[in-house]
Amino acid sequence: MPAKDLGTMTVHYIDVGQGDSILIQINEKNMLIDAGDRSEGDRVVSYLKDNNVEKLDVIVATHAHADHIGGMVDVLDNFDIKRFIDSGNPHTTKTYENMLITIDEMDIPFSLAEAGQAIDLDPSTTITVLNPEELTGDLNDDSVVVKLTYEDVSFMF
């Protein structure tokens, strides 16, 4: 019996200097994890457009430090967003507040990550939230950690 073609998955680590931004593409589905610092928002948007991204099926904001979510408003302003997942640990910065205001104004479906939760992206992948189990109040300790499995390869983000 021939093996089932699961399509192609590509993981892009976007160079945003200090911080993170990761694009996962599989079978015309797109997931973005973080968007770098505020000064990198245009770079992330350009990178996504250069890779034919028109919509983001899932965005994960791992935690509220500016080097992870600073460029997020630029991303939210430029793409159709189907689902936004946040750690649930609030931060008092204007950066975090602006991101939440934009999500609210654009009526983007918003949820909080919980350990054990499955993230539906594509049937060929399994994405499971590993952290946070319980919020401690520490932004780094409460970061969203996800495990993505595709065929016999796993990634931890």
Continuous H helices in 13-120: 41-50, 66-69, 72-78, 94-105
Mean predicted lDDT score pLDDT of the chain:
94
Residues 87, 68, 38, CA angle at the centre, nearest 5°?
A: 130
- pTM of the complete model: 0.93
How far is it, in rounded angstroms, from Cα 89 to Cα 78?
25
Percent of the chain at pLDDT exceeding 70: 96
pLDDT of residue 7: 74
pLDDT of residue 75: 98
Query: If we measure between CA atoms, which residue out of 111, 152, 115 comes closest to residue 135?
Result: 115
pLDDT of residue 40: 96
User: What pLDDT digit, counting tens, does each position of 17-73 carry?
Assistant: 989 999 999 999 999 999 999 999 999 999 999 999 999 999 999 999 999 999 999
CB 61 within 8 A of CB 69: yes
Q: For 21, what's the count of Cα atoms within 13 Å in the CB-facing half-sphere?
A: 26
| pLDDT level of residue 6 (50, 70, 90 thresholds) | low
CA–CA distances in Å: residue 51 to residues 12, 43, 124: 10, 12, 21
Structure-token pair, residue 144: 């969203």
Question: Which whole number is the average pLDDT over 121-132?
Answer: 96
pLDDT of residue 5: 56
User: What pLDDT digit, counting tens, does each position of 82-111 carry?
Assistant: 999 999 988 889 999 999 999 999 999 999
pLDDT of residue 2: 47
pLDDT of residue 90: 82
